[in-house]
Amino acid sequence: MFDFVDSYDVLGAFWTTVQLALLSAVGSLVWGTLLAAMRVSPVPLMRGFGTAYVNTVRNIPLTVIILFTSLGLFQTLNVTLGSGGDFKTTNFRLAVLGLIVYTSAFVCEALRSGINTVPVGQAEAARALGLSFTQVLGLVVLPQAFRAAVGPLTNVLIALTKNTTVAAAIGVAEAAYVMKEMLDKEAQLMAISAVIAFGFCCLTLPTGLILGWVGKKVAVKR
């Protein structure tokens, strides 16, 4: 029944999915943290940029962003995000960029919710000691915000893992791309769907359980 698995590189496709998710998660965490810092910054221009970015990107479909990275950046502007590499490698990089651009907006909001859990008095006390805004944010607020935001960030990571399927739209050979290839050539719709669904469950369920446990361990006791 599952003989088609041997004919296609299903494990390789899921490894590509894992790479997409991990690289995009790291990039989204970095950029999302910077956006969250902008959202709470005392500088109006930075606050305005952060707010405009989040509100704009969250309302654009991910498919549009991914297609823009390929059709707009690569084919029109010849942006390859690195030297060398074939078409598939370039599209992999562009897919990571698109996922970072999109996911970082949700990371920002998750972190901002964590920042809101930090008592205002702690930041005021730190400022009274002479710490700058950057020091207050980096030494006092963000460490507690991350601990409070583990749960929301876990949901963002799980959503990101599932969103990697959109990369198939620009030819990245991840799980959804291989699934489409199998459906075009095989007649076993239910079996193919079950294999791909099981693969994604194997990626997302342990992530949710492990990070859920971590969230309970590091939660700030109020």
For residue 101, give the amino acid letter. V
Residues of the chain with pLDDT under 50: none
The number of folded domains in the chain is 1
Q: How many residues does the chain have?
A: 222
pTM of the model: 0.89
Q: What is the pLDDT of residue 20?
A: 92
Q: What is the pLDDT of residue 56?
A: 95
Residues 87-104 as b or e (16 or more Cβ within 10 Å = b): eeebbbbbbbbbbbbbbb
Residue found under tokens 């959109």: 166
Residue 189 to residue 184: CA distance in whole angstroms: 10
**19-28 confidence digits (pLDDT tens):** 999 999 999 9
- The whole domain housing 129 covers 3-218
Whichever domain contains 196, its CATH number is 1.10.3720.10
Yes or no: say if 32 and 108 are a contact pair by the CB < 8 Å rule.
yes
Q: What is the pLDDT of residue 180?
A: 80
Q: What is the pLDDT of residue 188?
A: 74
Q: What is the pLDDT of residue 28?
A: 96
Q: What is the pLDDT of residue 82?
A: 67
Residue 105 to residue 35: CA distance in whole angstroms: 8
CB atoms under 10 Å from CB of 43, counted, come to 10
**26-67 confidence digits (pLDDT tens):** 999 999 999 999 998 889 999 999 999 999 999 999 999 998
Q: What is the pLDDT of residue 109?
A: 94
Q: What is the pLDDT of residue 88?
A: 72
Residue 123 to residue 147: CA distance in whole angstroms: 17
